[in-house]
Amino acid sequence: MKRVVITGMGAITPIGNDIKTFWSNLIHGRSGAQRITKFDPAAFRTQIACELKDFDPSLFLDRAEIKRTDPFTQYALGAAAQAIQDSGLDFSVMNPYDTGVIWGSGQGGMLTFEEQVKEYAAGNFIPRFSPFFVPKLIANMASGMISIKYGLMGINYTTVSACSTSNTAIMDALNYIRWGKAKVIVTGGSEAPITEASVGGFCAMKAMTVQNDTPQTSCRPFDVSRDGFLMGEGAGALILEEYEHAIARKATIYAEVAGAAMTADAYHMTATHPEGEGACTAMRFALEDAALAPENVDYLNAHATSTPVGDISELKAITKLFKDNTERLHISATKSMTGHLMGAAGAIEAIASVLAIKNSVIPPTINLTDPDPAIPAGLNIVRHEALEKRVDVAMSNTFGFGGHNGIVVFKKF
C-alpha cells in the first residue's frame, strides 16, 4: 500500500480562525467558552457554548456563495482554503480526477432547517421555502462546494458517524490514497450546531454542562465535578497526499498518517460502553493498521467530552490496551478549551495531534483541578500547562452516538 502524508492544514475554531492562533491558544490553555450570543439562551438549561469569534466568511467566499450556503459549509470552505494554501498545491497542473474531497458533518445545515421551518410556520403553513433550502441543508454540500470551488473531480462524498465523523472521513481518505485511487484528498469536518433546536435537544437529554455562571471552567474532562459537554462550532481541514506525489513536488510534510480503524459498541443509542470494550478494540486495530505497538505511542488526544460516564469508560479502555506501558503515554483532552465540535471534533483534534508531533509540545487539559477518584491508576494526564516532550506517535480518539468508535494514528515523518 502507498504511504500517506499530511501537507496542509486549516482551522476555524472557537480559539482561533487559523492554525497559528489555534495552536497558540491551545498550548496556553485558553478557553473559547462564553454565554451564547447567536440567540437568547435564557430559557435553556445550558446557556453557554464555544462560539467562533470574528469569523468573516467574506474572507473566503463571495456574496453569492455566502447567500447560498449554511454556516457549516462556510466554515468548511474557510478551513479548506487555508489548508490548500498551506499545502502549496497547484491544481491547475494536476489531473482533476486525481484529487478528491472526503468531508464530514454530523448535523449539516441545522440553522437553515430551523429558519425555513420557522418561516413556514409563521406563514400559516403556506409553502414559501427558499430554492436554496435543500442545497444549504444537506450534509454533503460542504464536500460538494469544496470540489466546485477548486475544480476537484475525483472521489467526493460526506461521512456521518456522529462525533466520530471527522475521523471516519480521515480514515476513508487515508485508504483511498493507499489503494491508489487518488493522489490528494481534502478531508476534515465542519459543524455549526449552536442553534436553538440543537441546543434544546441536547439540553433535553441532560448531556451538556449547566455551569452557566462560569463558562470558561465549565468543561472539565476527568474532573470529579464535570457535568456534561460544552458545545463548540467550526471546522478543521487536512490535505492528505500520496507520499511519492508530495516528495516529487518538494512539499512540506507535517506528519504521516500511519493507520486508522473503526468499531461499533453495539451497546446503546447514546452511551458509551461502560468498560470501553469497543473503544479499546478500535485503538488496538488502529495500531495494528499502523504496524505499531501500544508502547510506541507518546501522546493520546482523548475524546473526553466532560461527561460523567464517557470520560471514565475511555480511560478504562486506554488502561486495558496500554496496560503496563502507560509511563511513556501522555493524555490530554483539548475539548476543555475548544468545546465539543461534534462532527468537526476529530478534524480539529487530528490537527492538534499533528502539531504536537511537529512542535514536540503536548497541549494541556485545563480545568482539571480535582481528578475523579474513578480514574485508573498510572495514567499520565497532562493538566493545566502544556508539556514539552518529543512526540513520535500520536493517537486521536473519537466516539459518537450510535456506538461509533473512530481512531486515527499519526507518526513523525
User: Catalytic residues, which ones?
Assistant: 163, 303, 340
Residues 6+ apart with CB under 8 A from 286: 259, 260, 261, 395, 407, 408, 409
Q: Which amino acid is it at 219?
A: C
C-alpha dist (Å) from residue 300 to 250, 318, 402: 30, 9, 23
Which three three-digit cell numbers place residue 172? 476513508
C-alpha dist (Å) from residue 332 to 157, 208, 234, 328: 31, 20, 20, 13
Please report where in the chains the cell 478543521 appears, as a residue: 236
Cα 249 from Cα 361, distance rounded (Å): 29
Which three three-digit cell numbers place residue 353? 495531534
Q: Which amino acid is it at 393?
A: V
Which three three-digit cell numbers place residue 34? 462564553
Torsion angle in degrees (nearest 10) through CA of 366, 404, 345, 207? -60
Cα 334 from Cα 26, distance rounded (Å): 7
Cα 342 from Cα 339, distance rounded (Å): 9
